[in-house]
Amino acid sequence: MTMSFSSLLGLTEAATGAVDATAATGATAVNTTTELLGMLIPLVLMFVVFYFLLIRPQRKKDKKVKDMLAALKVGDRICTIGGIYGTIVSIKDETIELSVGKDNVKLIFARWAIRNVEEVAVENDSEVLN
CATH code given to domain 73-129? 2.30.30
96-106 mean pLDDT: 94
Give the Cα separation of 26 and 29 in Å (integer).
5
What element of type H or E holds 15?
helix 5-50
Give the Cα separation of 128 and 130 in Å (integer).
7
User: Is residue 15 predicted with pLDDT exceeding 80?
Assistant: no
Query: What pTM was computed for the model?
Result: 0.59
Question: What pLDDT shows up at residue 13?
Answer: 52
User: Is residue 56 predicted with pLDDT exceeding 80?
Assistant: yes
Question: What pLDDT shows up at residue 74?
Answer: 94
The model's pLDDT over 74-99, given as tens digits with 9 standing for 90+, comes to 999 999 999 999 999 999 999 999 99
For residue 32, which amino acid is it?
T
Reported confidence tier of residue 4, pLDDT bands at 50, 70, 90: low
Residue extents of the structural domains in the chain: 1-71, 73-129
